[in-house]
Amino acid sequence: MKALEGVRILDFTHVQSGPTCTQLLAWFGADVIKVERPGTGDITRGQLRDIPNVDSLYFTMLNHNKRSITLDTKNPKGKEVLEGLIRTCDVLVENFAPGVLDRMGLTWARIQELNPKMIVASIKGFGPGDYEDCKVYENVAQCAGGSASTTGFRDGPPLVTGAQIGDSGTGLHLALGIVTALFHRTKTGRGQRVNCAMQDGVLNLCRVKLRDQQRLAHGPLKEYSQFGEGIPFGDAVPRAGNDSGGGQPGRILKCKGWETDPNAYIYFITQAPVWEAICDVIGEPEWKTHPDYATPPARLPRLNEIFGRIEQWTMTKDKFEAMDILNKYDIPCGPILSMKEIAEDKSLRATGTVVEVDHPTRGKYLSVGNPIKLSDSPSEVVRSPLLGEHTDEILREVLKYTEEQISEIEASGATGAAPRMAAE
């Protein structure tokens, strides 16, 4: 039995943030019913397509283990079906623009009337305040949540990161909110609302930068390269390049082949307890006792020089050779892995973190499996549904509609055309 077996999710999500959340719940065994607009479905089905008329990887990689029902919720029959689903599901998850659910007639009061045990979980760009009505995508959240202003190099513009901390990050936060509300419901018997704003989710992931903002009031941030370079700090946390965000200085350093391979780099951390081993490895044994290098505070103003010297050593090894040598001494380091290397990584395949999935119209593709491993509830990745693939099944099995009722719903146009089963 899977951890969330028996929990039924009405998945009214689209694009990335909401689908990330419901995919996680589906991996843990929840029955996730994705409601999609007839004809088009989740807009990502058609976005960034690599193969004509086939669900995009954008869609397939965010919607595994779900069932799809097509429903025009603005059609009276469609609304009837939707309300039926609200009566039978435990959680409604949505990430529409602000006000959309209310405009559909699904106010909190109405939902409670239909099902007082229902948990309604929402992602919006911003919480209450100046921007609460704004539509928001990933990079907007990264900018408004403090990530962009603290990412990049000091002398360059703010940067967004490749990690989707606004969308997938907030989806992850919301999933925790949902299971917490489900746990709470076991004691209260009532549902509740769970709200996550993408700005808040990003800020939560950037909390070390708010830490540094406050430290600035008490003096320069000595672990930032800028300190060693003698450049004064302003009144806001600066961008810190690849400086480590923690108490152990770190940098990305070139390795053998960096001239032609854009990923021939290693992240190297000069953790204090292994300083002596680092000195031996790079051939500077006298730095173990020299007053300019022997202690962490003495090293802080000299980090550029120190990492420059370490880089002279890393440039003589490829990133995997360097890893092998450094790991022997427990020196924390990590290779900069390209997506190609990750796709081919044997360990990630073995643990199910990278999985190959077969899809009826696309064929085989790679996806990221569940990164959260439960010993008693392991996840198998099941391909994403075709648009409306489970419409009949859901009407019949979940809502217990008769054939006559189903024909009536279909005749009303509420469920749209039959699902596509093969590439057109």
Instruction: State which of positions 81-120 bind ligand COA (CB under 6 A).
Output: 95-97, 100, 103-104
Q: CB-based burial of residue 238 (10 Å sphere; 0-12 exposed, 13-18 middle, 19+ buried)?
A: buried
Q: Which is nearer to ligand COA, 79 or 184 (CB)?
A: 79
Rounded to the nearest 5 percent, the helix, strand and coil shares of the chain are 40, 15, 45
DSSP-derived secondary structure for 66-100: EEEEE--TTSHHHHHHHHHHHHH-SEEEE-PPTTH
Which residue has the closest beta carbon to ligand COA? 97
Binder among 71, 221, 331, 333 for ligand COA (CB under 6 A) = 71
Q: Which is nearer to ligand COA, 125 or 250 (CB)?
A: 125
Alpha helices in 33-166 (DSSP H): 57-60, 76-88, 100-103, 108-114, 138-144
Q: Which is nearer to ligand COA, 282 or 406 (CB)?
A: 406
Q: How far is CA 321 from CA 285, 316, 335, 421, in A?
A: 21, 9, 10, 49
Q: Which is nearer to ligand COA, 74 or 211 (CB)?
A: 74
Binder among 26, 123, 278, 387 for ligand COA (CB under 6 A) = 123
**Token pair 């193969």 is at which residue?**
51
Q: Which stretch binds ligand COA (CB under 6 A): 59-67, 68-76, 210-218, 259-267?
A: 68-76
167 is catalytic: yes
In degrees and rounded to multiples of 5, residue 152 shows phi and psi of 115, -170
Give me the residues paired with residue 250 across strands: 269
Binder among 25, 136, 182, 303 for ligand COA (CB under 6 A) = 136
Least CB distance to ligand COA at residue 152 (A): 23
Check binding of 163 to ligand COA (CB under 6 A).
Answer: no
* Angle (CA) 357 19 372, round 5°: 65
Q: Which stretch binds ligand COA (CB under 6 A): 11-19, 26-34, 107-115, 322-330?
A: 11-19
Q: Which stretch binds ligand COA (CB under 6 A): 122-130, 296-304, 308-316, 405-413?
A: 122-130
Cα(203)–Cα(149) distance, integer angstroms: 12
Q: Which is nearer to ligand COA, 10 or 381 (CB)?
A: 10
Q: Which is nearer to ligand COA, 9 or 303 (CB)?
A: 9
Binder among 34, 67, 124, 239 for ligand COA (CB under 6 A) = 124
Angle between helices 303-314 and 275-282 (to 10 degrees): 50
Least CB distance to ligand COA at residue 369 (A): 21
Q: Which stretch binds ligand COA (CB under 6 A): 69-77, 219-227, 257-265, 268-276?
A: 69-77
Q: How many CB atoms lie within 10 A of CB 114?
A: 16
Instruction: State which of positions 137-156 bind ligand COA (CB under 6 A).
Output: 137
Least CB distance to ligand COA at residue 26 (A): 18
State the pairing for strand pair 91-94/119-124: parallel
User: How many binding residues for ligand COA (CB under 6 A)?
Assistant: 23
Cα(96)–Cα(214) distance, integer angstroms: 35
Q: How far is CA 350 from CA 222, 341, 345, 347, in A?
A: 42, 15, 9, 5
Least CB distance to ligand COA at residue 65 (A): 19
Binder among 9, 10, 15, 279 for ligand COA (CB under 6 A) = 15
Candidate list 11, 31, 167, 392, residue with the active-site label: 167
State the pairing for strand pair 333-335/66-70: unpaired
Cα(65)–Cα(31) distance, integer angstroms: 8
Q: Which is nearer to ligand COA, 12 or 268 (CB)?
A: 12
Check binding of 72 to ligand COA (CB under 6 A).
Answer: yes
The set of catalytic residues is 167
Residue ranges that bind ligand COA, judged by CB under 6 A: 15-18, 35, 37, 71-74, 95-97, 100, 103-104, 123-125, 135-137, 167
